[in-house]
Amino acid sequence: MEVIPAQAQEPAYLKGLNPEQRTAVLATEGAVMVIAGAGSGKTRVIATRIAHIIAQRLARLHEILAVTFTNKAAREMRSRVESLLNTDLGTMWISTFHSFCARVLRHEIKHIPPFNSNFSIFDRDDQLALIRRIIKSSPEDGVNPNIPPPSYFIHKISLAKNHMITPQDYIATTPQEHFVAAAYPLYQEALASSNSLDFDDLLLYTVKLLADNQAVREHYAGMFRYILVDEYQDTNQPQFRLLRYLESVHGNICVVGDPDQSIYRFRGADTANVEAFLRTHQNAGVQILPLSQNYRSTQPILDAANELIVPGRTLDVNKRLWTDRRGGNKPRLVLTADEREEAYFVAGVLQQALKAGMSLRNAVVLYRTHAQSRALEEAFRKKELPYLIVGGLRFYERKEIKDALAYLRIVSNPLDEISLERIINVPPRGAGNTTLEKLREIAKMRGIPLAVALESIKDIPRVADKSKKSVTKLGELIAKKHEELESKNAGELAREILEQSGYLAWLGEQEEEEQTRLENVWELIAAAEEEPVSLPDFLATVALVTDADQIDSEAGVVSLMTLHTAKGLEFDLVIIVGLEENLLPHAQSSGVEDLAEERRLFYVGMTRARKDLVLTCAARRAFMGMWGPSVPSRFLADIGAENLQILELPRTYSDEYAFYDRERRYSGRRHY
């Protein structure tokens, strides 16, 4: 790498930065908080900062830790730094919190018995399956009608973990939740005996490791000379603690965030971390550096966004965003009769933009809930607009992919009973509930894993010979492939397991419709074969894929996604649908804090727009099959009519929807 003398000549990577950005890049030492307004060039600042640290030889590649919000953001950050420095970053630590923890734990979890490095990562479905089993084992199951649904347990347990409340302490802090209090320790024990961690555990066990193990703590804290954290406003308590340990030796930590864009309170993110950071670093002379010039949006869009967000602010660290991009259209607001008309209107806007020369990849449709995508999909299909739904039914959540992954997981981690139960009878092996129960008994009696007990099925009376044979074969296959975990890579193992278990053949025999399923599984195998990694590493990567990661800006395809998923992205044309009370703000978000978060969510959506912003609102909407009237969102009133261009729906729409009369169309009007 070429070294540039510090003073002689300004490094090329600093060119084009504004004074605020330059200050943020150069303030490498000590504690720094960058308050980065939407579209203020935050990513560029972080990438340049990393490049600067490396170019000035303040640290070597592996001595820098950068944490981003999504894996996609991590990849982008990596490639930006690589192009700034014209070098390969290799295995530099740029990742999400969860991926970072998975990577650390892969090496260190042996210090936390009974876990070993092949641990499984449980997603929501796995968590639900596990908690269902626990509920079933309770004597009250089926007797007490007040037992909450499994999802309630998972939610409450996750909340407890985010606040670092242990199973032992839970009942004392939350005495009214006695069902959860009873299940929580059982849930943790079941995870441990399965050598499995849920998403929250990845963070918690890493914190625990750093807290309890001095050698490990000194190793990591000593290694990272510089730490950078993006989207800091959405960190939670375990993440805060994690950073405290990691920064403890060198003290060079830069957090970048925007309290106005904090939208993950519901999953434990704590904006108090912003204040806590300032407080805990006061003695270290923490610097607060704002980025307030917006390079993304036009002034009318920013004006509207500012009007929306200012009434909801609680911290006053943020500045009013400004831009020198003059001109541009005011955000357009349209009232439609119902969600169908709304969908057709959106399709029309996209077709118009298409005609005007815009590529559909530069447009996005945003909504509060996934369910809203349905009407849009229908309209887009009719109008032959190519679209891509981001999130919703994700690739890795499809049944056949989950089944295939369960095969891989049980081989990687034979203690993972949830995975084993998933596939023991897929394809049908004549092992139903009764047989499974007997196998569990054997495993318990002999103190062996369920996967090993499969080979003892021969000892169970009254099981068909055919069933015994195929179950024994499955047990042998799992054992054999598990032994090859180190000698073979993920691609090799995936292909062999899925072929030899008979899963692929069985899938191929299914109905014509199932053929896409077979293709999906082959796609998974291809993904495993892409790079020669170990099976546990591949599984960890797959488990931590986020919605935003799968956005590939295919040319000529418009993306549809939730407002949450849109965080960090930008588009020429942004269309936000469903600006109605009970949807945005959502009906379930009635508390003061909840409402503030809904407002920020809308703000995040608006500030994704570079050139054009379109807002829609329907007068009638169906919820769970029931139609009901809708009222425009209170947030529209906050933006103010003077900051919006309110459109009358063109005639063509009444042609398409002759059954609506104009009176009814505007019956939902309130503010305008």
516 is annotated as an active-site residue: no
Nearest-angstrom CA–CA distance, 98 and 95: 8
- Residue for token digits 């994704």? 608
Contact 331, 358 (CB under 8 A): no
- Count of CB atoms situated within 10 Å of the CB of 464: 11
Residue list 64-93, contact with DNA (CB under 7 A): 70
- The reply to whether 43 belongs to the active site is yes
Q: Which long-range contacts (CB under 8 A, 24 or more apart) does 200-203 make?
A: 200/158, 200/161, 200/162, 200/238, 200/268, 201/161, 202/98, 202/101, 202/102, 202/105, 202/121, 203/97, 203/98, 203/101, 203/236, 203/238, 203/239, 203/242
Which window, 27-35, 55-63, 442-450, 560-568, contacts DNA (CB under 7 A)? 560-568
544 lines the binding site for DNA (CB under 7 A): yes
Closer Cβ to DNA, 155 or 671, answer by number: 155
User: Which residue is catalytic, options 201, 231, 417, 421?
Assistant: 231
Whose Cβ is closer to DNA: residue 108's or residue 547's? 547
Minimum CB distance to DNA, residue 68 (Å) = 10
Q: Is 625 in the site for DNA (CB under 7 A)?
A: yes
Decide: 280 and 244 in contact? Cβ < 8 Å. Answer: yes
| Of residues 244-263, those binding DNA (CB under 7 A) | none
Query: C-beta of 369: minimal distance to DNA in Å?
Result: 4
Site for DNA in 422-441 (CB under 7 A): 425, 428-436
Residue closer to DNA (CB basis): 602 or 653: 602
The nearer residue to DNA, 525 or 566, going by C-beta atoms, is: 566
Would you call 483 a catalytic residue per the annotation? no
Tokens encoding 80: 């930006």
**452: Cβ contacts below 8 Å, ≥ 6 apart:** 414, 443, 475, 479
Identified catalytic residue from 20, 177, 201, 230: 230
Angle at 363 between CA 360 and CA 369, to 5 degrees: 125
Q: Which is nearer to DNA, 264 or 635 (CB)?
A: 264
Q: Which of 6, 8, 587, 658 binds DNA (CB under 7 A)?
A: 587
Residues 192-231 close enough to bind DNA by CB under 7 A:
199-200
Q: Is 231 a catalytic residue?
A: yes
Decide: is 589 part of the binding site for DNA (CB under 7 A): yes
> To the nearest 5 percent, what fractions of the chain are helix, strand and coil?
55, 15, 35
CA distances 365 to 254, 388, 632, Å, are: 33, 10, 18
Which residue, 30 or 430, is less far from DNA as judged by CB? 430
Max CA distance (Å), the chain: 86
Q: Compare residues 356 and 393 and give the one whose CB is closer to DNA.
A: 393
Question: Per rule CB under 7 A, is residue 588 in the interface with DNA?
Answer: yes
Least distance from DNA to the Cβ atom of residue 518, Å: 18
Residue 232, amino acid: Y
Question: Is 548 a residue that touches DNA (CB under 7 A)?
Answer: yes
Tell me if residue 402 is catalytic.
Answer: no
Q: How far apart are CA 367 and CA 563, in angstroms?
A: 6
Instruction: Give the contact letters, 371-410, x = binds to DNA (CB under 7 A), - = no.
Output: x-------------------x-------------------
608 has catalytic annotation: yes
State the pairing for strand pair 226-229/609-623.
unpaired
* Distance separating the N- and C-terminal Cα atoms of the chain: 61
Positions in the binding site for DNA (CB under 7 A):
70, 96-98, 123-124, 132, 149, 151, 155, 158, 199-200, 264, 266-267, 368-371, 391, 425, 428-436, 467, 544, 546-548, 562, 564-565, 586-589, 594, 623-625
Catalytic positions = 42-43, 230-231, 261, 608
